[in-house]
Structure 1
Amino acid sequence: MTTPDKPGLRERKKQRTRTAISDAAIDLFLDRGFAHVSVAEIAHAAEVSKRTLFAYFPTKEDLVVHRMADHEQEAARVVRARPAHTTPLTALRDYFLDGLRRRDPITGLNDHPAVRSLTELIYGTPALIDRMQRFKAGGERALAEALCDTTEASDLTARLAAVQIIGVQWALSADNFQRLVQGETADGRYEGAVRDAEHAFDLLANGLAALT
Structure 2
Amino acid sequence: MKHPDFAKRFKQAVAHAGVEDTQEALARLFDVSTVTIWSYRNGEKLPRMSTATRIAETLEVSVDWLLTGAGSGPGELGLKEGSNVTQGPRIQGRIPLISWVQAGAFCEAVDLLEPGEAEAWLPCPAAHSDRAYALRVNGDSMTSPYPGQRSYPEGTIIFVDPDKPLTNGCRVIAKINGEVTFKSYAEDMGHIYLRPINPTYSPMEVTGKDISFCGVIIGSYTPE
- TM-score norm. by structure 2 comes to 0.25
Larger radius of gyration: 2
Higher helix share: 1
* Higher normalized contact order (CA 8 Å, seq sep 6+, divided by chain length): 1
- TM-score norm. by structure 1 comes to 0.26
